Amino acid sequence: MLTFTDWNILAGQRIKAPLNMIEFYKKVAKYFSLLIVITMLVAALCAFMFFGRDELLPAAESPIPWHIETIKDQLTENRSSLTVLNQTEQLDFEYTLNAVDEFPYVKLLMVFQQSDSQFGTVNFSHYYKVSFDVECTPYNVATLNLRTSDPKVTKAGDYNSYRFASHWFDCSDQSTEEEASLTGLEVPLWWLLENGISVHDRTYRLDQVFALSFDSSRHGPVGVPTRITVSRITLHYYQWEYLVVFALFCCCAWISFWAWAFKLHSTYLANDIRAKIVHDKPLVAYQKLSITSHKDKEKRAVLEYLAKHYANPDLNMELLIQELGVNRKKVNEILREEIGFTFKAYLNKLRLTEAARLVCDQPNASINEVAFSVGYKNVTHFNKLFKEEFGCAPNKFKKLNLAADTIADDE
């Protein structure tokens, strides 16, 4: 009979084996959570860097050099007036539209000075929107215009010959932020008709930008001094390289993590199975049983017979009963009281424990040889029972065991 100390040892082994995997899950969960946090921080940083900005004000810090030009109506002697008050730190200008002409106007142009064509245009194709802070006194309606070169109409030096696309905005004495999509501006119908261009041709080229301009509108005050102050002009663009950086980080970090986790799982699983083998070995230590009565002799006989003959492929309950002269009920009673298993379950436990030991101790042996040596005629059935017992197929356990040995040798 197993002593109280023996059962304590077995109980301790039963606790120790699953703890190995619990430690694995704790460790993986810890580093998984840490990697989640790091990924979120990198994502936030890349998202912040993804949205690039070029500030056109103040003028001295603008990445695209520009200078101010003005245009006023010239149809009568009572033409509109326009005075630029500040063009360095901000755009601050005052104008008065004449009350005589039907369509009076003034235009303040930010003419870009980087020449990549005969008309001195710059490339805005990488920008997707423009935003600006503006205030007006009194309340006003004005337009922001993107002026671009048109090969059919544009003439060098003639500012009115540049195709333009507009964004209308309201402004008051309270500074407000305005945004305009650079791909969603509207080319005026009257400009197309005046220049003999099809009314369906509303396109404009962002790679041929000549100027940005702030223009008065026919809906604004006429004959009244009006002041417009633009304190910020920002061109927005996407920096796609930061998405590439984030994608590469995620690929490298997460592939490395899962590779590490898989390798660690293999090590812990191999150790866990080894601990299980050690835990199950006392089941065949029949010599530890004490003999004090006839009942104990029967117990000893049954357990000793199973320990010696479990590798016999023809071993079954009928053969054991025939050999020992003990009835079926008695055999099952002995096994339940002493081991806690049925005959079939205990026989499989003995065979699988020995099979796992053989896989560890004789790595050159094939799985078929191991299965036959411990009493299984059907290798498929053996593989199924082994996986149910140890959590992985024999072949995988063999690989895990070899990998764990290699890691242990390296350390």
CATH number of the domain within which 87 lies: 2.60.120.430
Q: Are residues 262 and 388 in the same domain?
A: yes
CATH number at residue 328: 1.10.10.60
| pLDDT the model gives residue 114 | 66
User: Which domain covers residue 351, as residue numbers?
Assistant: 4-39+245-410
Question: Considering the domain boundaries, does residue 368 fall inside one?
Answer: yes
Q: Are residues 274 and 403 in the same domain?
A: yes
List per-residue pLDDT tens for the chain, 411 residues long: 334 344 343 334 433 444 577 888 999 999 999 999 999 999 999 999 999 999 999 999 999 999 999 998 875 566 889 999 999 999 999 999 987 777 889 999 999 986 555 557 899 999 999 999 999 999 999 999 999 999 889 988 888 889 999 999 999 999 999 999 999 999 999 899 988 999 999 999 999 999 999 999 888 888 899 999 999 999 999 999 999 999 999 999 999 999 999 888 888 887 777 777 766 655 554 444 444 455 677 888 888 888 888 889 888 889 888 888 888 888 888 888 877 888 888 889 888 888 888 888 888 889 999 999 999 989 999 999 988 888 888 888 888 877 666 655 555
| pLDDT the model gives residue 11 | 37
Q: Are residues 30 and 77 in the same domain?
A: no
Question: Considering the domain boundaries, does residue 197 fall inside one?
Answer: yes
| pLDDT the model gives residue 285 | 45
Distance CA 286, CA 270 (A): 27
Q: Are residues 125 and 171 in the same domain?
A: yes
| pLDDT the model gives residue 136 | 95
- Of 239, 272, 304, the position where a domain reaches its end is 239
- The residue type of 330 is K
Question: Considering the domain boundaries, does residue 54 fall inside one?
Answer: no
- Of 217, 239, 261, the position where a domain reaches its end is 239
Q: Are residues 178 and 156 in the same domain?
A: yes
Residue 119 near residue 154, CB atoms below 8 Å:
yes
Q: Are residues 159 and 182 in the same domain?
A: yes
Tokens 């379950």 — which residue? 345
Distance CA 236, CA 312 (A): 80
Residue 269 near residue 356, CB atoms below 8 Å:
no
What's the domain count of the chain?
2
Question: Considering the domain boundaries, does residue 51 fall inside one?
Answer: no
Question: Considering the domain boundaries, does residue 53 fall inside one?
Answer: no
Q: Could you give the dihedral angle defined by the CA atoms of residues 278, 282, 284 and 287, in that order, rounded to the nearest 10 degrees?
A: 140
pTM tops 0.85, yes or no:
no
